[in-house]
Amino acid sequence: MLRLEPRAQPSMAMSLASPLIALALTAVIAALLFVALGKDPVRGLSMFFFEPLNGLRPVTEVLLKATPLVLCALGLAVCYRSNVWNIGAEGQLLLGAIAGGGMALWLAESGFIGPRGAYAPLVLAAGVLGGMLWAGLTALLRDRFNASEILVSLMLVYVAQQLLNYLVFGPWKDPRGFNFPQTPTFDASTWLLPIARGMRLHWGAVVALVAIVVFWIFLFRSWRGYQLQVGGLAPAAARYAGFSSRQALWTALLISGGMAGLAGAMEAAGPLRQLTPHVSTGYGFTAIIVAFVGRLHPLGILLAGILLSMLLIGGELAQSRIGLPNALTGVFQGLLLFLLLACDTLIAHRVRWQGRRALSGRTVQ
Amino acid sequence: MNEFALLLAATIASGTTVALAGLGLLLNEKAGVLNLGAEGMMLLAAVAGFAAALATGSDLMAFGAGALVGGLAAAVFGVLVIWLNTNQYATGLALSLFGAGLSAFIGQAYTGKKLQDQVIHEVPILSDLPFVGDAFFKQHPMAYVTVAMVVLCAWFLYRTRAGLVLRSVGESPESAHALGYPVRWIRLAAVVAGGALCGVAGAFLSVVYAPMWVEGLVAGRGWIALALTTFATWRPGRVLLGAYLFGGVTMLQFTLQGMGVQIASQLLAMLPYVATIVVLALISRNPLWIRINMPASLGRPFHPGA
């Protein structure tokens, strides 16, 4: 029979192979699902793994959606490495969009009209602050009231969504918008501009690439990043060394809230250029999967962000081209994370085949 | 005058979903397992229950289907965290995300479908009482079953040997293991039972309370049920109390709107979530209080022989 045997050392190779095995298994299950739904599995899989990369335009769309995923996941990686379980990046992202959108609307209303894209940095800064504020609420309740950051950050997602709904259905609604729940289109001076003409991909993608480098330095080459990780891996050792766990909590949550807020403001000022109730399509939740599949490592997060973005676009393609519901993406996302966690068992364990005879000699657990 | 009675009735109906799920999660946590997948299990069970009700027209079949699906999903979670020692938070989260995705995918066929008209449930004689009858005795039978289950659960946990063993597995799995109890199997049983209860809760939501299916129908009730176990300091009776409190807050938004209070509906819709956060903070404020009541090994994996 098959037995799991602890390894003497966690396997580095398996840690890198595990996401690939999980991805392969997800693809196999996806193919079986396509067959069960009466679709050609090769064509089905190509919607997710080939078509999104087929040509310059699809690739820029993949990068466009990967941007908020990578930004959120970088912040989440800091949280999870510090053993702070922020699962409310979605809410922090929405607050970033609200704050950024609010800034854009306010600038136009106050008569600050400049050249195209001139005020984009202000909008993004407002978004960062909005996200930090929302995550700060979670940190405050954890720090002062000992309330679980998991539950508080998640509850705040629903509060943020209702706040956004309130604003776009109420005070911020475009008076000339035929009663649609949306704000007026932002003034061009607040737009986050596209990298090239006729492209939707904006300069936020470059910011995300820079952020990857910054986070790598922060996590692996800075004193504060080191403190955070010790606190996550060995809380007792961190206490003994005098690293403040309160400081770790605040740092991790404010960083991840700021990153999610930045992503939200980029969505508002980049591709959307207005606020609607549907600013985010669950980026904050998908980013959790990106963080884990990317091994909580900035480089891995880049790859995982691109992969999960391909799945998002694949879902849209599967809907428009082969008539499968877009919700398929959610199934594959969840499946991928599930299989990844299962495969991660192989990092600390190896599978051994043992005959009954070999087993009979010892106590079987 | 009858408006208040109707508010009470709606409160009980709304609280029943959260009470059932909270009770299931309580069983999990008493055995030391924290399942953040409650939301996902409830979503899957809500679709399954709705489909079963649509096909058979029977509420009982719907609850059965919900329990089956909830239990199955919980079993997958249980095997992963108990035998493969995966991180409980991450695995529960995976279940929630997977459940949201799969329920949206399967549920697409059921969006906008209508169930048969519901049978009106009345307790004979008692429901004719003024006020009290309208408030308490015109509920779906599941509302009463839920109350009975809370009593049963309290009796099981605190008055039976099996309940004692289950609690010992959550407090000190090492001791339970040393005494020869199969810690892992007991935990799995608790997880599956908890999942089945979450499943019944999901089915109740889509078949009786809503009654319909839309994507994301559960709307955070699974997470609220998780907060409820802390709020209840892991006592079954207080789970029920907390659930009705939550039901009351949920209903308050509609009552306030009905009374013509000038607050935007979106702001009122925040109420249940804000209330959950506030209550959670108030209860958790005293770390000692939490440490005394929380199962000592909650969320901690157990490796026999290690």
List domains and CATH numbers for chain B. 2-293 (1.10.3470.10)
Out of A121-130, A209-218, A295-304, B122-131, least confident range: B122-131
* Residues of B whose CB is below 8 A from A158: 219-220, 270, 273
| Last residue of one domain, picked from the residues A276, A296, A316 | A296
Where residue B116 falls (left for φ over 0; alpha for ψ -120 to 50; beta otherwise) is beta
A103 with A252, same domain? Answer: yes
C-beta of residue A101 within 8 angstroms of C-beta of residue A270: no
Query: Domain for residue A52, yes or no?
Result: no
Q: What is the mean pLDDT of residues A242-255?
A: 94
Nearest residue on chain A to B275, judged by CA atoms? A155
Q: Do A341 and B305 touch (CB under 8 A)?
A: no
Average pLDDT over residues B120-147: 86
Predicted confidence at residue B302, as pLDDT, reads 87
pLDDT-above-70 percentage for chain B: 99
Tokens of B223: 């997470």
Residue A338 lies in a domain: yes
User: What distance in Å separates the CA atoms of residue B303 and residue B15, rounded to the nearest whole number?
Assistant: 37
For residue A360, pLDDT over 90 is answered with no
Both tokens of A16, joined, read 């890198």
Question: How many whole angstroms from its chain centre is CA B297?
Answer: 22
What residues in A contact B83, CB-CB < 8 Å?
4
**pLDDT-above-90 percentage for chain A:** 83
Contact A342 B276 (CB under 8 A): no
Q: Are residues A17 and A164 located together in one domain of the fold?
A: no
Q: What is the mean pLDDT of residues B17-23?
A: 97
* Judgement on whether residues A280 and A337 belong to the same structural domain of the protein: no
* pLDDT value for A365: 43
CA A120 distance to own-chain centroid: 22
Q: Which residue has the higher pLDDT, A356 or A234?
A: A234
Whether A29 maps to a domain, the answer reads no
pLDDT at A60: 96
The tens digit of pLDDT for each residue in B74-95 reads: 999 999 999 988 999 999 999 9
Secondary structure class of B55 (helix, strand, coil): helix
The pLDDT of residue A363: 46
Residue appearing with tokens 């950050």? A153
Over residues B113-121, the mean pLDDT reads 80
Quick one: pLDDT at residue B38?
Answer: 97
Domain membership of residue A262 (yes or no) is yes
- Answer whether A345 sits within 8 Å of B287, measured CB to CB: no
Best residue in B270, B276, B289, B303 for a mutation probing chain A (most A CBs within 10 Å)? B270
Handedness of CA A289, A56, A64, A214 (dihedral sign): positive
Q: Cβ–Cβ of B93/A338 closer than 8 Å?
A: no
Question: Are B86 and A334 inside 8 Å of each other by CB?
Answer: no
Q: State mean pLDDT over A251-274.
A: 97
Does residue A202 have a pLDDT over 70? yes
**Boundary of a domain, candidates A250, A279, A296:** A296
Percent of chain A past pLDDT 70, that is, above it, reads 97
Q: Do both A239 and A191 map to the same domain?
A: yes
Are the CB atoms for B221 and B22 separated by under 8 Å?
no
Return d(Cα B113, Cα B54) in angstroms, integer: 8
Q: Are B38 and B96 in contact (CB under 8 A)?
A: yes
- Region A267-285 average pLDDT: 95
**Are B97 and A337 inside 8 Å of each other by CB?**
yes
Question: Is A361 found in the same domain as A247?
Answer: no
- Is residue A175 assigned to a domain? yes
Residues A277 and A328 in one domain: no
Indicate whether A259 and A339 sit together in one domain. no
Task: Please indicate, yes or no, whether residues A140 and A180 belong to a single structural domain of this protein.
Answer: yes
pLDDT recorded at residue B170: 95
Residues of chain B contacting residue A344, judged by C-beta atoms under 8 Å apart: 86
Do the Cβ atoms of B230 and A166 come within 8 Å?
no
Do A166 and B264 make contact, defined as CB atoms within 8 angstroms? yes
Residues in chain A, overall count: 365
Chain A residues with CB under 8 Å of a chain B CB are 4, 85, 87, 141, 145-148, 150-152, 154-156, 158-159, 162-163, 165-166, 169-170, 285, 288-289, 292, 325, 327-335, 337-338, 341-342, 344-345, 348, 365
Rounded to the nearest angstrom, the gap between the alpha carbon of residue A70 and the centroid of all alpha carbons in its chain is 6
Residue A357 pLDDT level (bands cut at 50, 70, 90): low
According to DSSP, residue B130 is labeled T
Both A86 and A142 in one domain: the answer is yes
- Best residue of B84, B233, B262, B265 to probe chain A, by most A CBs closer than 10 Å: B84
The answer to whether the CB of B221 falls within 8 A of the CB of B21 is: yes
Q: Please give the single-letter amino acid code of residue A148.
A: S
- B303 three-state secondary structure: coil
A48-84 burial: b if 16+ Cβ within 10 Å, else e: bbebbeeeeebebbbbbbbbbbbbbbbbbbbbbbbbb
The band of B305, judged by pLDDT with boundaries at 50, 70 and 90, is low
| Residue of B98, B111, B230, B286 to mutate for A, most A C-beta atoms under 10 A | B98
pLDDT of residue A364 exceeding 60: no
Mean pLDDT, residues A22-41 taken together: 95
For the segment B258-279, what is each residue's pLDDT rounded down to a tens digit? 787 788 889 999 999 999 999 9
Report the Cα A325 to chain-centroid distance in Å: 22
Do A146 and A277 have their domain in common? yes
Note whether A338 contacts B98, CB cutoff 8 Å: yes
Query: What pTM does this model have?
Result: 0.94
pLDDT surpasses 80 at A323 = yes
Q: With an 8 Å Cβ cutoff, are A145 and B85 in contact?
A: no
> Which of B94, B227, B264 has the CB atom closest to A151's CB atom?
B227
- Residue range A130-138: average pLDDT? 98
Contacts of A329 in chain B (CB under 8 A): 101
Query: Does A303 map to a domain?
Result: no
Q: Can you give the pLDDT at residue A307?
A: 97
Within-domain flag for A341: yes
Query: Is A156 in Cβ contact with B277 (below 8 Å)?
Result: yes
pLDDT at A361 exceeding the cut of 90: no
Which of A152, A344, A345 is facing B280, going by the closest CB pair? A152
Pair (A248, A292) in one structural domain: yes
Q: Enumerate the β-bridge partners of residue A194.
A: A202
- Chains A, B: CB contacts within 8 A come to 140
Distance from the B227 Cα atom to the nearest Cα atom in chain A, whole angstroms: 7
pLDDT for position B49: 97
- Average predicted confidence (pLDDT) for chain B: 92
- pLDDT category of residue A12 using cuts at 50, 70 and 90: confident
A236 and A277 together in one domain: yes
- What pLDDT, in 10s, does the model give residues B165-221? 999 999 999 999 999 999 999 999 999 999 999 999 999 999 999 899 999 999 999
- Interval A40-60: pLDDT, tens: 999 999 999 999 999 999 999
Q: How far is B159 from chain A (nearest CA, A)?
A: 30
To which H or E segment does residue A351 belong?
strand A349-353
Domain boundary among A280, A296, A312: A296
Asked whether the predicted pLDDT for residue A349 surpasses 90, the reply is no
Beta bridge pairs of residue A279: none
Q: How far is CA B128 from CA A353, B124, B131, B134, B135, in A?
A: 69, 8, 9, 8, 11
For residue A156, give the chain B residue with the closest CA.
B273
- In the prediction, which pLDDT does A21 show? 96
**Do residues A202 and A194 lie in contact, with contact meaning Cβ atoms separated by under 8 Å?**
yes
Most distant CA pair in chain B, distance = 64
Find out whether B87 and A342 touch, Cβ atoms under 8 Å. Answer: no
Q: Which domain holds residue A97?
A: 70-201+227-296
Q: What domain count does chain A have?
A: 2
| Averaged pLDDT of chain A | 93
